[in-house]
Structure 1
Amino acid sequence: MGLSNLGIFHTVIGVIAIVAAVISFIRNGKIDLSQPTGKIYFYFTLVTSLTALGLSSVKGVNPGHILALLIIILISIAYYLHARKQGNNRARYMENFFLSFSFLLSMIPTVNETFNRIPVGHPLAHGPQDPLIGKTLLVILILFVIGSIFQFRTQRRINKSV
């Protein structure tokens, strides 16, 4: 697979972040920063995004670096909203959206890298333009839209009951 030590560390931390997010989605219907799975997602995604800045097969800034910076911004704003806007129920909408959107953006390089590397020697895809990658990302986008609607409705019910 040809991964550097930083690449291996980045991958392991990233997989843990994704698993934590999925568990949080299943348990809470969102990435909940007050729960251990949400905290793991936040910190491991932060580390994964920071290490992504040190990974590149080309010199200079590339789209992967921009994506990593955007994810850092999204999770940082969500963390701020969670920590500083406790009594503001409207802030929960943005917090939920930013965390879910950061997860969606994380799936772009995850799907691309996984499908272009696994199984070793006979990868599922051959480059980022492969139709399998596009179809998979489309399914993930659809799930994101459905999940965002679900989160919005759930948060609205929570806000009305408080």
Structure 2
Amino acid sequence: MLNISSFGMFHTAIALVAVFFGIRSLVRYGEIRMRTRSGALYVWLTAATAFTGLFIFRHGGFGAPHVLAILTLVVLAVAASAERLGGSSFARYVAVLGNSLTLFFHLIPGLTETGTRIPIGDPAFSGPEDPVLKAIVGVGFLVYLVGAAWQAMRIRRESRIAAVT
């Protein structure tokens, strides 16, 4: 058995659907923004994932996963505010890069929880401090940085084109 509660399964299902819509939005539009249906679904489902994560205490009391959930909610709020304000390319940077950062945030508990449960009986990782897990999360962060740089260059190029026309 995976040793996961019904609430944990619900939380995980929301997270998986959020990640699906986040990746779909990135592939389709090159960014995650509330102005698209997939982007809006990603943001709302990610907020729901972070919120429900605050009520999971598998490892005892308040800990690093709860801090990540709060940080995710803060980043989502800042990104949504920036997108609502709009107008400047800076606001677009904040919105797009913030939402992409939260997709990276999904990676951390996703890999940790999956890797410490599967395969059943002989999990891939010994725990959150496993060096292989840390290395994989590090690679994920590098992928985020490359993607963020690409998104920033794209926003800059589009801003220059808009300024000329």
**Match of 1:155?**
155
The percentage of aligned residue pairs carrying the same residue is 29
Shift of 1:61: 2.0
Query: Is contact 2:33–2:95 with CA below 8 Å preserved after alignment?
Result: no
Gaps of 5+ in 1: none
Taking the aligned partners of 1:119 and 1:37, their CA distance within structure 2 comes to: 32
**Match of 1:86?**
86
**Match of 2:66?**
65
Query: Is contact 2:22–2:42 with CA below 8 Å preserved after alignment?
Result: yes
Shift of 1:59: 4.1
Taking the aligned partners of 1:61 and 1:95, their CA distance within structure 2 comes to: 29
- Closer, same or farther in 2 for the Cα pair 1:28/1:77, shift >3 Å? same
Taking the aligned partners of 1:58 and 1:145, their CA distance within structure 2 comes to: 30
- Per-residue CA deviation, residues 50-76 of structure 1 (Å, 9 max, x unaligned), is 000000124432111111001001011
Shift of 1:127: 0.8
**Match of 1:47?**
48
TM-score, structure 2 as length reference: 0.91
- Per-residue CA deviation, residues 72-125 of structure 1 (Å, 9 max, x unaligned), is 010111111112x13222200111121111222221111111111122222211
**Match of 1:135?**
135
1:117 aligned counterpart, secondary structure? coil
Q: What is the number of equivalent residue pairs in this alignment?
A: 161
